[in-house]
Amino acid sequence: MILDLGINFAGIKLKNPVLTASGTFGYGYEVGDLISLKKLGGIITKTITLENRLGNVQPRIAEVSSGLLNSIGLQNIGIKAFVEGPLFKLNKIGVPIIVSIAGNTTEEYIKIVKILTMQIGISAIELNLSCPNLKKKIICHDVFLMQDIIRNVKKISKVPIIAKLSPLVTDIAELALFAQEAGSDGVTLANTYPAMAINVKTFKPKLSSVRGGLSGACIKPMSLRCVYDAYQNINIPIIGCGGITNGGDAVEFMLSGATAISVGSASLISPKNLIKIIDEIKDIMYRKNIVSIKEIIGFVNTKNAC
Ligand SMILES: Cc1cc2nc3c(=O)[nH]c(=O)nc-3n(C[C@H](O)[C@H](O)[C@H](O)COP(=O)(O)O)c2cc1C
C-alpha cells in the first residue's frame, strides 16, 4: 500500500504534516547532525524580532508534571543577522521554511516582513501573536491590534501569513475567526498556557520571571479542544500544536481539524521524536487502511464516544 502523507497548507506543499514548533528547534539547521532534516514536512524557526534579544534572565526553564515551563523571552539574533546567516543555511535543507516573527507594534511587524519579502526561500511567515513571556500584554488578547498587524503584513507579504494564537482566551473559535477576517491564511493553535511553579525547598518561583508558558504532554487535551472548536468556525487551515509526543497525538490533532501539526517540547527532549512521529503516523494509516492523510482532516466521529 502506497501511503500519501502530502498535504497542502495554504498553498504550501508539504511532503508530510509534521513541522517543528517555533522556539524548540533553534533556528532549524543546527539539528542537522542528529536527524535528517529533509524528512520533515517543514521547519518553523524560533521567533525572530526586529532587534536582537537576550531573553529573560535564568532560570527560564523548569520541568513540571508531564510538561515544561519556559520563559525564554524570545532570545534571538534579530532579523538582519537571521537573513544573513541562519536563513541561508535553512535554504539548503530543501523543506519549506516558515519564519516565525514577533514585534511590539504593527510597525515592527511591518519592518520585519519588508525585510523577509526581499529574501528567497521562505514559504510562509508565522506571526507570533501569543508569547506569554514578555512584560507586556499577549498581543492577540487585543483583537484590534491583532487584526491591525495581520491586515498590514498581508498587504506586503508575498507568502502566506499564519497567525499563532494564545489558547488563554474565552473563545478560541471566535479569535481564530477574527484572524481569518483580518486576512490570515492559516492559524497555529496554540501557543503555551501561562502558568507557574514554586520550589518548595526555597519557597521561590522556579522561573526568574515567576510566570512562564506551559507546554508538553500535559497540555495536549486543551490544545486539541482549541483546534476542534476553531475548525468548526473557520475555513483557513490550522497547524495543531500542543503536547504532541507521538504519531497517535498527531493523528488526533488532524482528526480534530488540523491540516498540519507542529511539535515543540517532544523535539526538545529528542529531535528524533519528529521522525518517530512521522513513522507512527504511517503505521496508523497502514493499520486503518488510509491511503491519503488528507482523508482524516476534521474526520473525528462525534456521533458515538468510546
Ligand atoms: C523552550 C521553548 C521555547 C519556545 N519559544 C517559542 C518561540 O520563540 N515562538 C513561539 O511562537 N513559540 C515558542 N514556544 C512555544 C512552542 O512553539 C509551542 O507552541 C508550545 O511549546 C506547545 O507545543 P508543545 O507542547 O509541543 O511544546 C516555545 C516553547 C518552548 C518549550
pLDDT at 12 over 80: yes
**Distance from residue 62's CA to the centre of ligand 1 (Å):** 14
Q: What pLDDT is stored for residue 143 in this prediction?
A: 97
Cα separation, 259 vs 282, whole angstroms? 16
Answer yes or no: is the C-beta of 220 below 6 A from any ligand 1 atom.
no
Instruction: Give nearest CA residue, ligand 1 atom 10.
Output: 22
Q: b vs e for 254-286, b when ≥16 Cβ sit within 10 Å of the residue's Cβ?
A: bbbbbbbbbbbbbbbeebebbbebbebbbebbe
**Beta-carbon contacts of residue 68 (< 8 Å; ≥ 6 apart):** 61, 62, 214, 215, 216, 265, 268
At residue 304 the predicted structure's pLDDT band, cuts being 50, 70 and 90, is confident
**Beta-carbon contacts of residue 31 (< 8 Å; ≥ 6 apart):** 25, 37, 271
> CB–CB of 275/225 below 8 Å?
no
Indicate the helix (H) or strand (E) that contains 131. Answer: none
192, 223, 252: residue to mutate for ligand 1 pocket, most atoms within 8 A of CB: 192
Q: What pLDDT is stored for residue 277 in this prediction?
A: 98
Burial of 131 (0-12, 13-18, 19+ CB in 10 A): buried
At residue 211 the predicted structure's pLDDT band, cuts being 50, 70 and 90, is very high
Q: CATH fold of 7-296, please?
A: TIM Barrel (3.20.20)
Q: Quote the mean pLDDT of the chain.
A: 97
Q: How big is the chain by its Cα radius of gyration, in Å? A: 18
Q: What pLDDT is stored for residue 306 in this prediction?
A: 82
More confident residue, 172 or 306: 172
At residue 299 the predicted structure's pLDDT band, cuts being 50, 70 and 90, is very high
Q: What pLDDT is stored for residue 133 in this prediction?
A: 72
Q: What pLDDT is stored for residue 183 in this prediction?
A: 98
**Distance from residue 168's CA to the centre of ligand 1 (Å):** 15
- The residues pairing with 70 across neighbouring beta strands, listed in sequence order, are 61, 213
Q: Which atom of ligand 1 is nearest to the CA of 219?
A: 25
Q: What pLDDT is stored for residue 137 in this prediction?
A: 86
Strand-strand pairing, 124-128 and 161-165? parallel
* SS percent in the chain: helix, strand, coil, step 5: 35, 20, 45
Q: What pLDDT is stored for residue 55 in this prediction?
A: 95
- Mean pLDDT (whole number) for 202-217: 97
pLDDT > 70 in the chain, percent: 100
pLDDT in tens, 185-200: 999 999 999 999 999 9
Answer yes or no: is the C-beta of 132 below 6 A from any ligand 1 atom.
no
- The residues pairing with 238 across neighbouring beta strands, listed in sequence order, are 187
pLDDT at 265 over 80: yes
Q: Where are the domains of the chain?
A: 7-296
Which of these ranges, 21-30, 53-62, 131-140, 243-252, has the smallest mean pLDDT?
A: 131-140
pLDDT in tens, 126-156: 999 998 777 778 999 999 999 999 999 999 9
pLDDT in tens, 88-99: 999 999 999 999
pLDDT at 9 over 90: yes
Q: What pLDDT is stored for residue 274 in this prediction?
A: 98
pLDDT at 70 over 90: yes
Q: What pLDDT is stored for residue 174 in this prediction?
A: 98
Q: b vs e for 16-48, b when ≥16 Cβ sit within 10 Å of the residue's Cβ?
A: bbbbbbbbbbebbbebeeebebeebbbbbbbbb
- Mean pLDDT (whole number) for 159-185: 98
- Mean pLDDT (whole number) for 154-173: 98
> CB–CB of 90/43 below 8 Å?
yes
